[in-house]
A = this chain, B = another copy of it.
Amino acid sequence: MGVNMKKESNSTARRGRRPGPNSTRRAVLEAARASFAKHGFVGTTIRLVAAEAEVDVAQVMQFFRSKDALFAAVMAIPESALERFNSLYEGPDEHLGERVVRAFLTAWEGVIEESEPLMATLRGAFVNDQARNQLSDFIQSRLLAGTNENHCSDARLRTGLASSMLVGVVVGRRVIGVPTIVAADHEELIRILAPAIQQILVQ
């Protein structure tokens, strides 16, 4: 009784084929991440992900149990993106706005392993409840994670608004594709946005 030990094997190790290098699973995950980031949740089909990863359709369902589970595996916000926001409040207060804008731009437009899950979450937030909650948490509390002051409701609102506005800039650049905003480079954006974010955050 107790735990389910099959047969009389005295070894706890399971027998049979060990999981291989799992290169296929990773290929599926990367194809899915790219597709979810580019086409959104409903615009992504398992069949196309499978084709992109050069894998059978049923294989995708065997690794991940469903399309929702596959999406959940993709949109897990990577640690590297979260850590980017943890040390924002260290440093001179008069440059807080600039540090925040830089952190956002780097997270959303840096290496694809970091930005694609965020884009997938953003696009999915319009359709998928889990993505909506995750993005809500990100907007609400990412900028608050670095500070250890008492968060009066006004500070919570201010950080939430600053995050929303920067997400709006990302939407303008990478979803809607407003030409003028797309054409601007990071330093140009920082020069204009940093003072405004600064004003919102520190009153």
Chain A residues near B (Cβ < 8 Å): 40, 42-43, 123, 125-127, 132, 135-136, 139-140, 153, 156-158, 160-161, 163-169, 171-172, 175-181, 184, 188-189, 192-193, 195-197, 199-200
Of the candidates B132, B188, B193, B196, which one forms a contact with A176 in the assembled complex, judged by CB atoms under 8 Å apart? B132
What are 13 of the A-B contact pairs (CB < 8 Å)?
A40-B127, A125-B176, A126-B175, A136-B178, A136-B179, A139-B176, A140-B180, A160-B181, A164-B168, A165-B169, A168-B169, A193-B200, A199-B199
Please state if A161 and B193 are interface contacts (CB–CB under 8 Å).
yes
Number of copies of this protein chain within its complex? 2
Residues of B within 8 A of A43 (CB): 127
Residues of B within 8 A of A157 (CB): 180-181, 184, 188, 192
Please state if A177 and B42 are interface contacts (CB–CB under 8 Å).
no
